[in-house]
Amino acid sequence: MTRNHGKKCVFCDMVAGKAPAHRIHEGRHSLAILDIFPFARGHSLVISKRHVVWWHDLSEKETEDLFRTARVVANKIQKAFKPDFVCMYARGKRIPHVHIFLIPTYSGDLLDRFFNALEKIQEAPGELVRMRDRAELAKTARLIAKS
């Protein structure tokens, strides 16, 4: 396996062809594979070819290619499985190598129920409600913009 800071990286090995992967699509800087622990049939991962932990640390060209590949694969998933939508999120905590999850999602399935629960939390009173205030949103936008 490829080493990174003394740790093995299974995604680097997949990119190098040293570990098995069900390849779906390949870009210049990214590779799309099936997730071996799927939430749904067709659940895919788009990984960067270069070992980088967080997607926002990729170069501009790598970022463009990563998201272009994600769009291509999401359209392929949509065509193959006809889900209500293809959920996309990036986490990377368990395997510290840039990867985007693409998961076909249907009404009532695990992810749909999860996001419905999150929406209820967003609508909850208290601190989250205060964050929706126009002045608070403007303050937050300014804080992020100047960072």
Q: Tell me the percentage of the chain whose pLDDT exceeds 90.
A: 67
User: How far, in Å, are 41, 46, 54, 74, 93 from residue 71 at the CA level?
Assistant: 18, 10, 19, 5, 22
Total-model pTM: 0.79
Assess whether pLDDT exceeds 70 at residue 4.
Answer: no
Fold of 2-106: HIT family, subunit A (3.30.428)
Residues whose CB falls within 8 Å of the CB of residue 6, separated by 6 or more in sequence, listed in order = none
Q: What is the tens place of the pLDDT at every residue in 42-71?
A: 999 999 999 999 989 999 999 999 999 999
Do 100 and 72 touch, CB atoms closer than 8 A? no
Higher pLDDT, residue 22 or 120: 22
Assess whether pLDDT exceeds 50 at residue 1.
Answer: no
Q: What is the tens place of the pLDDT at every residue in 74-103?
A: 999 999 999 999 999 987 678 999 999 999
Q: How confident is the model at residue 118 (pLDDT cuts 50, 70, 90)?
A: confident
Q: What is the tens place of the pLDDT at every residue in 130-144?
A: 777 889 889 999 999
Q: What is the pLDDT of residue 119?
A: 81
Sequence ranges of the domains in the chain: 2-106, 108-147
| Residue 94 token pair | 């368990």
